Amino acid sequence: MRRRDLPRPTGRSVANVTHGRGSLDRSAGGGRDGGPLPEDYEAIEQVIAADGSYDGEAVVAMDLDDDTLRSIYGTVVRSRAIEERRMTLQRGSELPFRMECRGEEAAHVGPTAHLRRLPHTVAVGTTVPQAVGHARGRKYQGRTT
């Protein structure tokens, strides 16, 4: 599925957007396997519209202090600098392959800003043994423990 074929979020909440694997709506079985989402799951809220405007009240409601906002912004700036350096290396034939992510830094930084400072994250729908196997470069082989 190409990017332009993906559904666009409407309104403030993107909890009802379908991305080919089911709805994120808890009542509609929004889990990765089509099952229900956990009760403690919090719906994702979209505060920035496609045209670049944003809901100021929603931003204030997040209650982020200035240091946190500066940290998030600094990470976005560093991500852009790394992307520009990678582009320079790729154009100079020093880097054989590069995926373009310029302009999408906030899409990567925002969702991870709330994570604790741990060396690994576990994707939703995977188990810890799967994540450890992936981190060590080993195929998981279907075990559950």
Band (141; pLDDT cuts 50, 70, 90): low
Mean residue pLDDT across the chain: 68
Residue 33 reports pLDDT greater than 60: no
pTM of the model: 0.47
119: phi > 0 → left, psi -120 to 50 → alpha, else beta; which? alpha
Q: Which carries the bigger pLDDT value, residue 41 or residue 27?
A: 41
Residue 2 reports pLDDT greater than 80: no
Torsion of CA 103, 107, 108, 114, to 10 degrees: 140
CB count within 10 Å of CB 139 equals 8
Q: Which carries the bigger pLDDT value, residue 15 or residue 132?
A: 132
Q: In sequence order, what are the residues at sequence separation of 6 or more whose Cβ sits closer than 8 angstroms to the Cβ of residue 99?
A: none
Share of the chain above pLDDT 70, in %: 52
> Cα dist. 116→45, 73, 80, 111, 121 in Å?
20, 17, 22, 12, 9
Q: In sequence order, what are the residues at sequence separation of 6 or more whose Cβ sits closer than 8 angstroms to the Cβ of residue 25?
A: 15, 16
Residue 43 reports pLDDT greater than 70: no
**Each residue's pLDDT tens digit, 45-98:** 677 777 878 888 887 888 888 888 888 889 889 988 888 888 888 888 887 777
As a whole number of angstroms, the distance between CA 124 and CA 143 comes to: 17
